[in-house]
Chains A and B, each alone.
Chain A
Amino acid sequence: MIVTTTKGDMDDSLLEKREGSLDNEIESTTWVEYWLEGELVHRSAHVTLKTGPSLFAEAAEF
């Protein structure tokens, strides 16, 4: 697979791939990094929001 990097497009077989994830009540996130000889040359992240803020509306009592 060809990966866009700071060095240009490279085949992923030439790179070290590192992946990570995070999951909590706000988000579910994954990221992928490609390293070349100790240098980070590509990092992408995908954040999935689980919910958004809500606004509470109330009618006043007399």
Chain B
Amino acid sequence: MANTQSMCTTFMGELLTSTHNFGVAPVRATSAADTFKGALYLTTATVDANTSVYSATNEVTGSGYTAGGVAVTNGTVPAQTNTSAIAGVAYWTPSASITYTSVTLATAFDCVLIYNSTQSNKAVSVHTFGSQTVTSGTFTLTMPANTTTTALLRLTTS
């Protein structure tokens, strides 16, 4: 037997479900999953790791699109798995595509911000793609496979 320095994989998974709180607040009133949303941003926006909360600044506008975007379907709880004594992954992916139907978004956009609308619109992640416009159509963002190597959100240690 030997001890091995490592982040515990269960801990990483529990970060995704707010089990641990090293600071103060938020006080969670329910054990239910939060509501997450996806908002689209123009190519001229600056949405990146510095983004801490959803903002309508430089968000796309157009017919059929509501500021703040659409709800993300969250039907799959976070998962976690160990690959060795020092390596593990916790991961999560929305359980359905993010779809903006019957919209006209004439100005080019190239990213989606995933944020927590239950927790004061706090930002989660930014995902970029090739520049797009939509004209009287539908924009569909299909999620990657929910695996240890491709999930939309992955916390890893090795």
Report yes or no: B130 in contact with A27, Cβ–Cβ below 8 A. Answer: yes
CB < 8 Å A-B pair total? 104
Residues of B within 8 A of A47 (CB): 129-130, 132, 139-142
A37 to chain B, nearest CB (A): 15
Q: Indicate if B156 sits at the interface (CB-CB under 8 A).
A: yes
Interface range for A: 20 to 34
Within 8 A of B (CB), among A12-60: 22, 26-27, 29, 31-33, 40-59
List residues of B whose CB falls within 8 A of some A CB: 5-7, 12, 93, 102, 104, 125-130, 132-144, 149-158
| Chain B residue at minimal CB-CB distance from A26 | B129
Cα separation A9 to B131 with both chains bound (whole Å) = 26
Residues of A within 8 A of B139 (CB): 44-47
When chains A and B are docked, how far (Å) is the Cα of A19 from the Cα of B126?
A: 27
The B contact surface, by secondary structure, is strand
- Across the interface, name the chain B residue whose C-beta is closest to A28: B142
| Candidate in A27, A31, A45, A46 with the most chain B CB atoms within 10 angstroms | A45
Once the chains bind, are A5 and B125 in contact (CB under 8 Å)? no
Q: Among A41, A49, A56, point to the contact of B143 (Cβ < 8 A).
A: A49
Contacts of A32 in B (CB 8 A): 137
Tell me whether B137 and A4 are in contact (CB under 8 A).
Answer: yes
Please give, as numbers and ranges, the residues of chain B lying within 8 Å of A40 by CB-CB distance: 135
Q: For the complex, what is the distance from the CA of A55 to the CA of B133, rounded to whole Å?
A: 30
Question: Which residues does chain B contribute within 8 Å of A6, judged by CB atoms?
Answer: 104, 135-136
